[in-house]
Amino acid sequence: MTEKAYPAPKARERSKWLRSLRNDSSLFLLALPGVIALILFAYLPMSGLILVFKNYNFNGGIFGSPWAGFDNFDFFFSSMDSAIRATRNTVMLNVLYMLTGTFFSVALAIALNELRSKGYIKITQSVMFFPYFISWIVIGAILFSLLDFEKGIVNRMLEGIGLQPVDWYAHPWLFVVVLVLANIWKSAGHGAIIYYAVLQGVDTSYYEAARIDGASRWQLITKITLPMLIPSIILLTLLGIGGMLKGDLSMIMGVTFLNPLLLPTTDIIDVFVYRTAIRSGEFGFASAITLYQSVFGLVLVLVANKLAGWYDRDSKLF
């Protein structure tokens, strides 16, 4: 009898589902522009990775070009040297940026945390943060005025103290030092803000208690401040592992102008793809290295996230 009095549960569920779908339709519409952007510029490029199995030609495009099987990989392995060089440069630069960047960010944050003059902190912090807002193109132009062989300030200073001028743009390994310093200059102030914010959240009673016990300033730093920063340092470093294969094309182009003399150390994967495929039109080899970068990039992100999750459950990204 009851079955007649009330609609069948299934039907009721379906009408509820329909009603909520109608309710939700406005949400779908609100998300739609974002969904389209993600599909066009993130998801379709992922599917575009099938390019690696294609013999790309302009008329056929990604999906219409003839299949090439594993030819592009043969090509990839046959010129392994350039792939290895690009990978080495990418990882090497990223590791150096991470180590030096973290060191300076932490050192600056600790130093800021010790200062007592509010005005001094505010001004220096603002100044240190400013380079973060400047593009690599602008930085490259200024750097050129510093490092230019004849007119650059650095060489004129070297000459001033009786040393030989250095042709900075002709020594690939020396230029690694320039890149690392430029990276510290641009981003250490930004990193310091993150660590300084962590320190602002530290309970001051730790310091008061240690002071009463007669701890020196140096002991306060090594026994309280630094340990307070360690979790953030480890976490940001672990998450940074995920980006190890990603290179900054704008940085290399802005600072080196793709100077061929510097390519032995500045030819990162992104630069390599730009040079070979986009500028010279050789898609086969570049597509293989793109696929390799994407796949290993995913593996690295997953590993980094797993490690971060082990280290601290809350900080896992997903």
Which pair of tokens denotes residue 278?
A: 């986009």
Site for another protein in 146-205 (CB under 8 A): 146, 148, 150-153, 156, 169, 185, 188-190, 193-194, 197-198, 201
Binding another protein (rule: CB under 8 A), the pick from 8, 11, 230, 278 is 278
Binding another protein (rule: CB under 8 A), the pick from 102, 274, 275, 309 is 274
46-77 as b/e, with b when 16 or more CB fall inside 10 Å? eeeeebbbbebeeeeebeebeebeeebbeebe
3-class SS at 129? helix
Stretch that binds another protein, among 66-74, 78-86, 202-210, 215-223 (CB under 8 A): 215-223
Nearest to another protein of 59, 204 (CB atom): 59
Smallest separation (angstroms) from another protein to the CB of 2: 29
Nearest to another protein of 238, 286 (CB atom): 286
Smallest separation (angstroms) from another protein to the CB of 7: 22
Judge whether 309 and 68 are in contact, CB under 8 Å.
no
Q: For residue 67, list its beta bridge partners.
A: 54
Site for another protein in 96-135 (CB under 8 A): 104, 107-108, 111-112, 114-115, 120, 123-124, 126-131, 133-135
**Angstrom distance (rounded) from CA 166 to CA 154:** 9
**Angstrom distance (rounded) from CA 3 to CA 25:** 32
The angle subtended at Cα 296 by Cα 257 and Cα 68, nearest 5°, is: 85
3-class SS at 67? strand
Stretch that binds another protein, among 31-39, 67-75, 77-85, 92-100 (CB under 8 A): 31-39
Binding another protein (rule: CB under 8 A), the pick from 79, 222, 250, 280 is 250
**Angstrom distance (rounded) from CA 208 to CA 298:** 46
Judge whether 110 and 225 are in contact, CB under 8 Å.
yes
Stretch that binds another protein, among 73-81, 86-94, 139-147, 171-179 (CB under 8 A): 139-147
Judge whether 30 and 46 are in contact, CB under 8 Å.
no
Site for another protein in 224-243 (CB under 8 A): 232, 236
Nearest to another protein of 2, 266 (CB atom): 266
Nearest to another protein of 1, 223 (CB atom): 223
Site for another protein in 67-96 (CB under 8 A): none
Smallest separation (angstroms) from another protein to the CB of 287: 6
Residue 294, interface with another protein (CB under 8 A)? yes
Residues in the chain: 318
Which pair of tokens denotes residue 5?
A: 């009095």
**Angstrom distance (rounded) from CA 317 to CA 242:** 12
- Per-residue string for binding with another protein, 253-272, x by CB under 8 A? xx--xxx----------x--
Judge whether 180 and 100 are in contact, CB under 8 Å.
yes
Binding another protein (rule: CB under 8 A), the pick from 6, 164, 218, 313 is 218
